[in-house]
Amino acid sequence: MTSRYTAAKDVFVDSIDINDYIELNSAVTAYQQLQHSMDKPLKMILLFGRPGTGKSILLNRIANKLKYQKEIYYFDTPAINEKEFFHKLFKVLTKKDLPKNTEVNFSALVDFCKDLRGKREIIILLDEAQMYGPEMMEKIRLLSDTRAVKFVVSLHKTDDEDLIAKEHFQSRIWEIIELKNAQKDDLTTYVHKKLLKKNLFEIANSIKEKNMKLIHTFTKGNFRETNKLLFTIFEICEYYDKNEPSKINYENLPQRVIEMAALKLGYIDV
Ligand SMILES: Nc1ncnc2c1ncn2[C@@H]1O[C@H](COP(=O)(O)OP(=O)(O)OP(=O)(O)O)[C@@H](O)[C@H]1O
Ligand SMILES: [Mg+2]
């Protein structure tokens, strides 16, 4: 027998699928800021935020929404090496493939871009930019100086390292947009809409305000942490549904189940 909670659990598998994108107040603001900045004559824009705040999904969303209006490209996890990155960039800029074992002539590429100025306006969304080294960032900057290519650089912020402070990011970023963890209301919308999109109305309704308060306390409004917690909550529900259905309350999610999940994930110390 499959449990109704199996589907609910699957809703919270961490993934970047723009079909699952949810309009949240915080994301709408960041989205508009980003779009606004992209229309300004800026060479680089920084999208900044802690892991799991929704940077990748926002970049994907923007690339998809603007694909018919702008020449916009999303670059996901950085290529393993510089050569691969410039091959990819070469292809995007020249619309031609380079044979596998040839190196991109960088200064020729810069000249090519200078020629494009005023003819094409290319936007490149660079996700996970903390993985690009100083030399690559320097080259990216040189390309942006031609003003034919604009870069949106996405960086994640960690406690032990202030990446913006790094010299190669500092001097060249003209506008900064920060994504933050969600407030309780936005997080509630997120959880409910994710479930409703999959027609899981009853389960969505079983998550009450006090549940969301507790969930928000544990996850601090981080989307990735919330995904993990919700997945674990429904995993526990699924177990009871299959093995001890008498113990399940389908109308109200018990706070105890949230605590059990939090314990399992190490949010609570024993
Ligand atoms: N507005 C949203 N609509 C739907 N899902 C979202 C939204 N914002 C965040 N998420 C979900 O939250 C999770 C984390 O988001 P994402 O991977 O974009 O974070 P990130 O900031 O890129 O993290 P990292 O710095 O680790 O790369 C993903 O599963 C994503 O689908
Ligand atoms: Mg990401």
What fold, for 25-179? Rossmann fold (3.40.50)
Q: Which ligand is nearest to the CA of 190?
A: 1
Stated pTM of the model: 0.92
| Ligand closest to CA 75 | 2
Q: What is the mean pLDDT of residues 85-112?
A: 88
The tokens describing 237, both together, are 């529900």
**Mean pLDDT rounded to a whole number for the chain:** 90
Ligand 1 in contact with 78 (CB < 6 A)? Answer: no
> In this predicted structure, what is the pLDDT of residue 167?
64
What residue spans define the domains of the chain? 4-15+183-264, 25-179
Alpha helices in the chain, H assignment, sequence order: 4-11, 25-39, 55-65, 82-94, 106-116, 134-145, 167-170, 184-197, 201-206, 209-219, 223-243, 255-264
Ligand 1 and 18: CB distance under 6 A:
no
Q: What percent of the chain has pLDDT over 90?
A: 63
Q: Which segment of 34-38, 97-101, 124-128 scores lowest on mean pLDDT?
A: 97-101
Mean pLDDT check: name the lowest of 84-88, 128-132, 160-164, 239-243. Answer: 160-164
Residue 14 CA from chain centroid, whole number: 11
- Give Rg (Cα) of the chain: 22
Pocket of ligand 1 contains residue 51 by CB under 6 Å: yes
pLDDT tens track for 103-113: 888 999 999 99
Buried b (16+ CB within 10 A) or exposed e, 110-142: bebbeebeeeeebbbbbbbbeebeeebbebbbe
Residue 224 CA to ligand 1 center (angstroms) comes to 6
Q: Is the pLDDT of residue 168 over 90?
A: no
